[in-house]
Each structure stands twice: as C-alpha cells, then as structure tokens.
C-alpha cells in the first residue's frame, strides 16, 4: 500500500509528536520525521501542515536569527496542541490495535 496515502491521515499527529519532543523549524521537522522512518513525507506537506496547525491555534511560533543563513521560524506545541496530540494518539493507538488484530485474524501476520 502506498505510504503517502496513509501519511495524509496521520501527518498532523506525527508533526505534533515531533514538536512535543522539541521545538523545530520547517525543514528540521521534515528531517526528524524522515529519520524516524517516514521516508516518503513531502516537504510541502509538512510545511503546509505546520501552517495549518498554527492557524488552528495548536502551535506557537517564533523567529530565531541565524548567523549562517536566513532567519528561522520555529514552531512549538502549546496547550491546545498537546490536547489534540493526546486525543489523536489515543484514537490512533486504538485504530492501530484494531488493524493489527484484524490483519492477524486474517492470517496475514
């Protein structure tokens, strides 16, 4: 199955989870998602997701001047984002459990 299709549904949770560990700027978030194993995550998708979560009030943002390059816009999770992450994590885990059980019952594991 195409992983990019699966990613679409869970990218919000993934981004929130990454930022929950540590604040990050756009490309930093992309790299951390990729190093976590989500190789096919798209740059534009992450950037768009960050913007959407920020607009929805789930993230804070601040600009950090850089010596070597452009200013970096950092994103951090806020209270609303943490709540969203907790709810999403719960439903994702329940969903993953269901899928795991289903696939095991079908004898595919």
Residues 59, 19 contacting (CB under 8 angstroms):
yes
What is the contact mask toward another protein in residues 51 to 70, using x (rule: CB under 8 A)?
A: xx--x---------xxxxxx
Q: Does 85 bind another protein (CB under 8 A)?
A: no
**Rounded least distance, CB 38 to another protein, Å:** 14
Burial class (CB in 10 A: 0-12, 13-18, 19+), 33: buried
Q: Which stretch binds another protein (CB under 8 A): 23-31, 32-40, 84-92, 94-102?
A: 23-31
């Amino acid at each position: 199955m195409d992983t990019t299709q699966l990613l679409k549904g869970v990218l919000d949770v993934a981004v929130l989870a990454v930022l929950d560990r540590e604040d990050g700027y756009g490309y930093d978030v992309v790299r951390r998602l990729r190093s976590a194993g989500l190789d096919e995550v798209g740059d534009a998708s992450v950037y768009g997701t960050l913007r959407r979560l920020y607009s929805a009030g789930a993230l804070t943002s601040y600009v950090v001047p850089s010596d070597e390059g452009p200013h970096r816009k950092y994103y951090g999770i806020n209270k609303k984002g943490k709540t969203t992450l907790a709810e999403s994590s719960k439903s994702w885990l329940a969903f993953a459990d269901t899928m795991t059980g289903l696939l095991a019952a079908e004898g595919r594991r």
